[in-house]
């Protein structure tokens, strides 16, 4: 498997990859060695070093980790942690295999490795080759995403499962921080149902080997005490637990000295305990990647294991769907410098306003973004130049049918007609957007409205017509977006939101500057 001068990502499914990541890598490594190629295999977590070392067969394998004495600069296969590799001179190899490539993707350490080996064959392995937003990890030339969890269950590589949802949490008022539920705000909601969670587990899974995902260290410790009170043998793993102590707990779990491992942000990767047959979810997450990794801990096959039971006490199945749901992943759309900046600015206010709902819309936004970039940062000295650029932009985009010389009849009926004179009317008017009239006055900086424009524009606003002012092509696009996001199509009719009259802050500033009415008055 050689993909020259490109990145490639292998995506199978959570369990198959976790169980067989090193198996896939071993076969690639073996083929590469046979062809005289040198290989680097990287892992994001120290425990994966030994797992890989054992799987690769130890013979001639160099370990790059801290002061590990197994390091051999002349070896043809190196296995190393991302952290150590960033502090060492990178080895000269032909093939690079990145295990659990979603960890740290886009961060400085992994980026350094990708940049260094950009002329080599680079292969990424991950059960979840997606960002926290659910888009495919960027920068890779090829993705293998067709074989998924449901396929591997049917083929016998993964075990079947059952789901049990004893109750749901009310998370409607929990804020979102960094793309996920606020741990602090979730805590009292989750703590209020702890006794119910323990009771339900005891009722349906008391004989099952269980991994529990907890919302916080504090909640994990409380759960541990509650389960111990029932006589359940449990271990708790989180960031405050030293690595040596973790290894002892892993061994105890492996030999069934303990029945349950409670963890906080630890067992979502690099943990290979095949006979786990219950996953208890007490931590809610909005991140699909985290959810897939959590449920994946229970899908491995093992001798005597018939199924895995997922007990969801945190709304995760409701949020993301059942574990074997077939999912289509797409690259995050990149629309151009101007639109990507606008999308980033909207993140704090909720979902991106500039967001495609279909591949056709994404294609159109890419086209628009390319043209918007052409006019970026242009400062106009003549209104005619601004008008020409705006018309050029709109014609290229085929956004709306523009026409000049239209306005309201002076008979108070609200009717609009075409005129032969432009006196007092905005530079551009249109009848589109489901019958909504839009007028755009193009103004260069420090140029006032003429008396006739003041009268006509004020009249338009007071009549409920939509009048906007723009000094750049970008602001004309903003006008179109404001209209678009406030109109919804339903079967044979259009629904216009009243928010269409709540114009953007920039338009309010313009209206104040030109002494125009702020809103519809009649």
What is the Cα Rg of the chain in Å? 30
- Mention every residue, 6+ apart, whose C-beta is less than 8 A from residue 212: 220, 223, 260, 261, 262, 263, 279, 280, 282
DSSP-derived secondary structure letter, 241: S
DSSP-derived secondary structure letter, 393: H
Pair type for strands 436-442 and 428-432 = antiparallel
Domain residue spans of the chain: 6-147, 153-320, 333-346+357-374, 376-513
Strands (E), 156-296: 160-164, 176-177, 180-181, 210-213, 234-237, 260-263, 278-281
Residue with tokens 């002494």: 515
Paired residues of 158 in beta bridges: none
Pair type for strands 278-281 and 210-213 = parallel
Equal CATH topology for 6-147 and 153-320:
yes
Question: If phi over 0 gives left and psi between -120 and 50 gives alpha, with beta otherwise, what is residue 302?
Answer: beta
> What pLDDT is recorded for position 422?
58
Per-residue pLDDT tens digits of the chain, which is 522 residues long:
223 233 333 333 333 333 457 778 888 888 888 899 999 999 887 778 888 888 888 788 899 988 889 998 899 999 988 889 988 889 999 999 998 888 888 888 888 899 999 899 999 988 888 888 888 888 888 888 788 899 999 999 999 999 999 999 999 999 998 889 999 999 999 999 999 999 999 999 999 999 999 999 999 999 999 999 999 999 999 999 998 999 999 999 999 999 999 999 999 877 889 999 999 999 999 999 999 999 999 999 999 999 999 999 999 999 999 999 998 888 887 888 899 888 877 765 445 678 776 777 788 888 889 889 999 989 899 999 998 898 888 887 766 555 555 555 555 555 555 444 556 778 887 655 566 778 899 999 888 998 888 888 888 888 888 899 999 999 999 998 888 888 887 777 888 888 888 888 999 999 999 999 877 554
- Mention every residue, 6+ apart, whose C-beta is less than 8 A from residue 6: 121, 122, 141, 142
Strands (E), 444-501: 466-470, 487-490, 493-496
- Pair 347, 201: CB distance under 8 Å: no
Q: Which CATH superfamily is domain 6-147 in?
A: P-loop containing nucleotide triphosphate hydrolases (3.40.50.300)
Architecture label for domain 376-513: 3-Layer(aba) Sandwich (3.40)
Please tell me whether the overall predicted TM-score, pTM, comes out greater than 0.85 for this model.
no
CA-based max dimension of the chain: 93
> What pLDDT is recorded for position 11?
34
* Residue 295, both tokens: 């449920």
Architecture label for domain 153-320: 3-Layer(aba) Sandwich (3.40)
Q: What are the phi and psi torsion angles at 341 (to 5°)?
A: -65, -45
> What pLDDT is recorded for position 160?
96
- Mention every residue, 6+ apart, whose C-beta is less than 8 A from residue 220: 212, 214, 236, 238, 262, 263, 264
> What pLDDT is recorded for position 421?
52
């Amino acid at each position: 498997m050689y993909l020259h001068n490109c990145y490639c990502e292998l995506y199978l499914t959570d369990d198959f990859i976790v169980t067989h990541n090193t198996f896939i890598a071993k076969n690639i490594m073996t083929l590469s060695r046979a062809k005289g190629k040198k290989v680097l295999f990287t892992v994001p977590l120290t425990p994966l070093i030994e797992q890989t070392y054992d799987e690769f067969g130890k013979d001639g394998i160099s370990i790059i980790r801290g002061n590990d004495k197994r390091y051999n600069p002349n070896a043809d296969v190196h296995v190393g942690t991302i952290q150590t590799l960033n502090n060492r001179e990178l080895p000269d190899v032909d093939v690079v295999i990145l295990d659990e490539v979603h960890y740290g993707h886009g961060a400085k350490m992994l980026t350094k490795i990708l940049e260094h080996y950009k002329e080599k064959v680079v292969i990424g392995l991950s059960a979840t080759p997606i960002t926290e937003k659910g888009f495919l990890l960027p920068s890779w030339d090829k993705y293998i995403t067709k074989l998924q969890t449901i396929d591997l269950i049917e083929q016998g590589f993964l075990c079947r499962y059952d789901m049990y949802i004893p109750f749901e949490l009310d998370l409607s008022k929990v804020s979102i921080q960094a793309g996920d539920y606020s741990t602090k705000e979730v805590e009292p909601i989750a703590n209020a149902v702890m006794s119910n969670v323990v009771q339900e587990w005891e009722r349906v899974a008391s004989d099952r080997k269980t991994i529990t995902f907890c919302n916080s260290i504090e909640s994990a410790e409380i759960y541990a005490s509650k389960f111990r009170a029932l006589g359940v043998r449990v271990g708790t793993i989180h960031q405050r637990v030293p690595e040596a102590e973790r290894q002892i707990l892993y061994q105890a779990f492996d030999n069934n000295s303990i029945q349950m491992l409670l963890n906080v942000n630890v067992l979502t990767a690099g943990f290979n305990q095949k006979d786990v047959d219950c996953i208890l979810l007490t931590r809610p997450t909005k991140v699909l990647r985290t959810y897939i990794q959590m449920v994946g801990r229970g899908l491995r096959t093992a001798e005597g294991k018939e199924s895995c039971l997922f007990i969801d006490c945190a709304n995760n199945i409701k949020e993301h769907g059942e574990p074997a749901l077939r999912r289509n992943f797409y690259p995050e759309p990149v629309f151009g410098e101007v639109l990507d900046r606008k999308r980033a600015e909207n993140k704090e206010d909720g979902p991106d306003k500039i967001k495609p709902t279909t591949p056709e819309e994404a294609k159109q936004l890419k086209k628009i973004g390319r043209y918007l970039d052409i006019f970026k940062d242009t400062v106009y000295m003549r209104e005619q130049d601004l008008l020409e650029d705006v018309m050029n932009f709109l014609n290229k985009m085929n956004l709306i049918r523009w026409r000049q010389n239209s306005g309201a009849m002076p008979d108070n009926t609200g009717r609009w007609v075409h005129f032969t004179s432009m006196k007092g009317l905005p530079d551009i008017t249109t009848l589109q957007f489901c019958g909504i009239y839009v007028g755009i006055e193009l103004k260069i900086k420090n140029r006032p409205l003429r008396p006739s424009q003041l009268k006509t524009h004020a009249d338009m606003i007071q009549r409920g017509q939509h009048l906007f002012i723009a000094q750049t092509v970008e602001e004309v696009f903003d006008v179109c977006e404001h209209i678009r996001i406030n109109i919804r199509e339903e079967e044979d009719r259009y629904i216009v939101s009243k928010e269409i009259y709540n114009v953007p802050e920039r338009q309010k500033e313009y209206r104040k500057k030109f002494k125009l009415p702020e809103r519809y008055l009649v």
